[in-house]
């Protein structure tokens, strides 16, 4: 990975499992303790259309429909975070996709686990590239 001095923005979602479990504050605490700043924050109940746009890359995969059902099962907290290398940095804070495999110390490793069901419920989403971040910020915060 190349280092960069340009300040980045990343789109973070606290998914319905995290919201239901009252982990919104804990996730935001970790983001701020790391040193990233909050540029936008909102509690939203996502529409199917928003989720289909957000997860377009996964359309057709076996977990796609369960993922959309899960993500529309309740409110989420959407945030835009800012800072140098925050895209890669937040993915590092989040940990591996599957909570069972995510390292202790990470959000998914400390706060997540495998539950019954097809989709991996893993508390947070974070953009995976500058291109994804700008695209996703447009979906969740069209006013930005
Ligand atoms: P990421 O959130 O770590 O970037 P992606 O591969 O982009 O992971 O997948 C999006 C979301 O879809 C994951 O966060 C997880 O909730 C779910 N997911 C991904 N892969 C699987 C799978 O193999 N089985 C069940 N759910 C999955
Ligand atoms: Mg992803």
pTM, to two decimals:
0.97
Q: Helix (H, G, I), strand (E, B), or coil: what is residue 140?
A: helix
Strand partners for 44: 76
Is residue 3 predicted with pLDDT exceeding 80?
Answer: no
Q: Which residues are catalytic?
A: 125
Domains of the chain: 7-92+125-140 (3.30.70.141)
Query: Ligand 1 pocket, 119 CB below 6 A?
Result: yes
* pLDDT score at 1: 67
DSSP 20-67: HTT-HHHHHHHHHHHT-EEEEEEEE---HHHHHHHTGGGTTSTTHHHH
Query: Ligand 1 pocket, 64 CB below 6 A?
Result: no
From 64, 65, 120, 123, mutation site for ligand 1 pocket: most ligand atoms within 8 A of C-beta:
120
pLDDT, tens only, 48-75: 999 999 999 999 999 999 999 999 999 9
* pLDDT score at 136: 98
């Amino acid at each position: 990975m190349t280092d960069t001095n340009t300040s980045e923005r990343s789109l973070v979602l606290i998914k319905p499992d995290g919201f239901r479990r009252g982990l919104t504050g804990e996730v935001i605490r970790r983001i701020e303790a790391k040193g990233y700043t909050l540029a936008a924050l909102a509690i939203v109940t996502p529409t199917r259309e928003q989720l289909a746009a957000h997860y377009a890359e996964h359309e057709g995969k076996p977990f796609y429909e369960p993922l959309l059902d899960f993500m529309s099962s309740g409110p989420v907290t959407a945030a835009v975070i800012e800072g140098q290398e925050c895209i890669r940095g937040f993915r590092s804070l989040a940990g591996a996709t599957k909570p069972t495999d995510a390292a202790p110390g990470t959000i998914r490793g400390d706060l997540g686990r495998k539950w019954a069901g097809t989709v991996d419920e893993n508390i947070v989403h974070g953009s995976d590239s500058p291109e994804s971040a700008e695209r996703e910020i447009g979906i969740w915060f069209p006013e930005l």
